[in-house]
Amino acid sequence: MVREILVYPNKTLKRISKEVESFDGALHDLLDDMYDTMRAQNGLGIAAIQIGVALRALIINIPLDDPHGEHYIDDEMGNDQPKENTLEMINPVIVSKEGHRKYQEGCLSIPGVYEDIERAKKVQVEYFDRNGNKQVIEDDDFLAIAVQHEIDHLDGKVFIEKLSFLKRKKFEKEWAKKFK
Ligand code: CO
């Protein structure tokens, strides 16, 4: 089911999400709703808090076909994300980070805004799948960036908080205009 996505500066987005304790049908329904909601907006990832659920759950689905050689959130690429390719991460923890890299990010909670953000280039992440099995993943490409972006959501943070003071000020001014 497609759910409503909370839009910045909705205060709920600042909440620290709690660990998932039951890997049950309710969790599976949540993950399925997250997928439907993400796909409805042509997103590449979403955290549970973005649909108002403060649980440490996120999903990422990187399109198979990548004509630009870059993973922008882009309508043109919204049709190549089969559900079985979705990475579902419950209670994820970054256990190691290496290097630095700038990448252009966007967010379903801040639609239409794309900014270069610096993050670690390579991460190793431990997490649980939807059945409660422990998994580990390592990546030094787009997935590494996406995981860091989504884990920030679980900690109540959005990517524009990583902008420089001046860029943030400019963003806030332009964003406020949208809601007048
Ligand atoms: Co986001």
Over residues 85-89, mean pLDDT: 95
Q: Is residue 1 part of a domain?
A: no
Active-site option among 19, 98, 150, 161: 150
How far apart are the CA of 106 and the centre of ligand 1, in A?
Answer: 7
pLDDT digits (tens, 9 = 90+) for 13-28: 999 999 999 999 999 9
Surrounding ion ligand 1 within 5 Å at CB are: 107
CATH number of the domain residue 62 falls in = 3.90.45.10
SS (H, E, C) the chain: CCCCCCCCCCHHHHCCCECCCCCCHHHHHHHHHHHHHHHHCCCCEEEHHHHCCCECEEEECCCCCCCCCCCCCCHHHCCCCCHHHCEEEEEEEEEEEECCEEEEECCCCCCCCCEEEEECCEEEEEEECCCCCEEEEEECCHHHHHHHHHHHHHCCCCHHHHCCHHHHHHHHHHHHHHCC
* % pLDDT > 90, the chain: 84
pTM equals 0.91
Domain contains 96:
yes
Q: How much distance in Å is there from the Cα of 52 to the middle of ligand 1?
A: 13
Q: Is residue 91 part of a domain?
A: yes
- Find the domain containing 116 and state its range: 11-178
Tell me the CA–centroid distance for residue 83 and ligand 1, in Å.
Answer: 19
**Total domains, the chain:** 1
Quote the pLDDT of residue 12. 98
pLDDT at position 78 is: 47
For 110-138, the pLDDT digits (tens) are 999 999 999 999 999 999 999 999 999 99
| 43 within a domain of the structure (yes/no) | yes
- The chain-wide mean pLDDT, for the chain, equals 92
pLDDT in tens, 45-56: 999 999 999 999
Active site residue 4: no
- Domain membership flag for residue 24: yes
| Residue 169 belongs to some domain of the structure | yes
